[in-house]
């Protein structure tokens, strides 16, 4: 709650201050609000054209605008009206700089006019901006509830940048790519290979693969191709390569998912582990502090309780592989209380109890939870839900495939989240791509497979907290720029034309 000080209450020499750290999102918001798209003020852009991303500096007027936060919120506060403001801009401000913004009353004049000296300093004590503000102070008490202010969400996908960056730091993953004879599947495999995420072995109709490569401008030099005439034979051979130790993941190309999975799940010679195969969508949702996993939205149509145990455990394992140390799992239903007439609520309660008893390990499981109180802490509190998961779920378990699939696609196409996916539960990760998947989705799916493979081998994740992962994030942003695509899905002519983030 913001409250003001009236003209009569204010004394000469009185001061107020706020602190603010410049973030990349601040630069995007200011660019949109002001219309100033000078590239020297925008993150992740090589504006000098030398092939190196240039560090942005804040527009000086963004720095100057911080002074209004002191005047409008504290001194005098709500009801203040500007008459004039002068600035002397002395030093640049960069992303990460912590600023102290201070205003001090120097004079009181007729007409409720105040003069205030204004000063903005960095954490090292260096003054970056100074000047004078002249304002008309309010003559009556005004309070304002700041919680009524609508939020602003900047559409950036930093989680995927970081995951790709960390994956790129690992040795490439040997992958059998099954029937990659269309532009999407072959292009995705070649893109991931060019950035060191996978070492592909292409299995299928060699002539069709070569023809597709020529169409998309792909280079097959040095890539092994196993020529087989049918999708079924290609899928069988891919599974055999896993048993031979030549590959550690499979990637679906231009064939039906059932054809590939038939050879994965067969009892003799398949890739069974005793767990059910489940699909996990990993979502990079703007504004969420971690990636969000949704399962199962692609394989298990109407899972029973036994299947849901594997769905939950597989999702926890993948979350740990991508850096969530103790995943919080929300098991979804239409309500947050157990209703005997609603099977999903009963399953959710049982799964929660099974996790408490150690039958599901590695995460914290709670349910039933409705979607709102699974991801929004205020919704959870408004319904009196006290839980380590409610309002902060890292994993969302859908009651069935239809609900999971709709949830993932609503987040993608309505909330502008980015999605990647992986099938887990087999002895190796399986990259399932769709014709609708764009280049970045395919690339991130390969990164997920590499990170999951590393976790399977070592029991540890290479993904570290954000403050320790800045180099990986920058590496991921660079890869994102280099893999930008045009409308046809072909590689963009210039990586410089693409930005790893957008607002």
- The one-digit pLDDT tens for each residue of the chain (503 residues) are 778 999 999 999 999 999 999 988 899 999 999 999 999 998 878 777 776 778 899 999 999 999 999 999 999 999 999 999 999 999 999 999 999 999 999 999 999 999 999 999 999 999 999 999 999 999 999 988 876 677 666 666 688 988 999 999 999 999 999 999 999 889 989 999 999 999 999 999 999 999 999 999 999 999 999 999 999 999 999 999 999 999 999 999 999 999 999 999 998 999 999 899 999 999 999 878 889 999 999 999 999 999 999 999 999 999 999 999 999 999 999 999 999 999 999 999 999 999 999 999 999 999 999 999 999 998 999 889 989 999 999 999 999 999 999 999 999 888 888 899 999 999 999 998 776 667 778 889 999 999 999 999 999 999 987 767 777 777 777 777 676 543 333 433 333 233 333 22
* pLDDT value, residue 467: 63
Residues 6+ apart with CB under 8 A from 340: 346
CATH superfamily of 2-148: Hotdog Thioesterase (3.10.129.10)
Residues 6+ apart with CB under 8 A from 220: 202, 209, 210, 213
Contact assessment for residue 472 and residue 166, using Cβ atoms and an 8 Å cutoff = yes
Short-list 79, 80, 84, 92, CA closest to 118: 84
The whole-angstrom separation of Cα 317 and Cα 275 is 12
Structure tokens at 234: 């290609």
The whole-angstrom separation of Cα 291 and Cα 409 is 15
**C-alpha torsion angle, residues 492, 495, 497, 503 (rounded to 10):** 100
CA-to-CA separations, 124 to 98, 100, 128, in angstroms, rounded: 9, 10, 11
The alpha-carbon radius of gyration of the chain (Å, integer) is: 27
* pLDDT value, residue 155: 61
Beta bridge partners of 250: 176, 430
Short-list 462, 468, 464, CA closest to 448: 462
The whole-angstrom separation of Cα 349 and Cα 368 is 6
pLDDT tens sequence across 110-148: 999 999 999 999 999 999 999 999 999 999 999 888 766
pTM here?
A: 0.75
The whole-angstrom separation of Cα 278 and Cα 17 is 53
Short-list 335, 302, 301, 299, CA closest to 314: 299
Short-list 299, 221, 206, CA closest to 260: 299
* pLDDT value, residue 494: 30
* pLDDT value, residue 234: 97
Question: Where does residue 408 rank: exposed (0-12), middle (13-18), buried (19+ CB within 10 A)?
Answer: buried
> Residue 391 — φ and ψ, nearest 5°?
85, -10
Question: Where does residue 490 rank: exposed (0-12), middle (13-18), buried (19+ CB within 10 A)?
Answer: middle
DSSP assigned state of 147: G
DSSP assigned state of 281: E
Short-list 146, 5, 120, CA closest to 66: 120
């Amino acid at each position: 709650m913001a409250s003001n000080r009236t003209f009569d209450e204010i004394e000469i020499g009185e001061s107020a201050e706020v602190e603010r750290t410049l973030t990349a999102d601040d630069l995007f918001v200011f660019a949109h609000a002001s219309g100033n798209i000078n590239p020297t003020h925008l993150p992740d852009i090589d504006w000098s054209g030398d092939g190196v991303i240039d560090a942005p500096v804040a527009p000086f007027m963004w720095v100057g605008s911080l002074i209004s936060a002191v005047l409008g919120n504290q001194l005098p506060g709500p009801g203040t009206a500007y008459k004039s403001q002068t600035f002397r801009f002395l030093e640049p401000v960069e992303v990460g700089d912590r600023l102290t913004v201070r205003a001090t009353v120097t004079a009181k004049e007729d007409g409720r006019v105040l003069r205030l000296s204004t000063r903005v300093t960095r954490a090292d004590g260096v003054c970056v901006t100074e000047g004078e503000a002249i304002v008309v102070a309010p003559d009556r008490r005004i309070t304002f509830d700041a919680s009524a202010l609508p939020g602003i969400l900047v559409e950036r996908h930093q989680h995927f940048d970081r995951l790709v960056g960390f994956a790129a730091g690992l040795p490439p993953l040997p992958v059998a790519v099954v029937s990659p004879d269309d532009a999407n599947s072959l292009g995705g495999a070649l893109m991931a290979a060019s950035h060191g995420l996978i070492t592909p072995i292409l299995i299928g109709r060699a002539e069709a693969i070569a023809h597709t490569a020529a169409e998309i401008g792909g280079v097959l030099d040095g890539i092994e191709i196993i020529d087989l005439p049918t999708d079924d034979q290609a899928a069988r051979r891919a599974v055999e390569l896993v048993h031979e130790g030549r590959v550690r993941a499979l990637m679906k190309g231009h064939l039906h998912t059932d054809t590939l999975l038939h050879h994965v799940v067969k009892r003799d010679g398949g890739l069974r582990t005793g767990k059910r195969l489940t699909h996990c969508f990993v979502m990079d949702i703007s504004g969420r502090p971690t990636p969000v996993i949704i399962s199962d939205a692609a394989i298990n149509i109407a899972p029973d309780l036994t299947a849901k145990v594997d769905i939950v455990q597989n999702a926890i394992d993948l979350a740990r592989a991508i850096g969530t140390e103790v995943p919080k799992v929300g098991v979804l239903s239409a309500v947050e209380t157990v209703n005997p007439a609603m099977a999903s609520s009963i399953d959710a309660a049982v799964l929660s109890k099974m996790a408490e008893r150690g039958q599901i390990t590695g995460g914290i499981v709670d349910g039933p939870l409705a979607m709102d109180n699974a991801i929004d802490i205020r919704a959870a509190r408004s319904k009196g839900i006290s839980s380590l998961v409610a309002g902060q779920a890292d994993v969302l378990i859908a009651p069935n495939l239809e609900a999971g699939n709709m949830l993932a696609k609503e987040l993608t196409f309505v909330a502008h989240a980015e999605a990647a996916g992986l099938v887990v539960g087999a002895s190796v990760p399986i990259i399932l791509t769709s014709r609708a998947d764009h280049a970045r989705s395919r690339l991130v799916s390969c990164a997920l497979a590499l990170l999951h493979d590393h976790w399977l081998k070592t029991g540890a994740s290479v993904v570290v907290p954000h403050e320790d992962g800045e180099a990986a994030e920058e590496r991921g942003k660079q890869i994102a720029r280099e893999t930008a695509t045009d409308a046809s899905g072909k590689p963009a002519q210039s990586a410089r034309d693409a930005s790893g983030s957008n607002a």
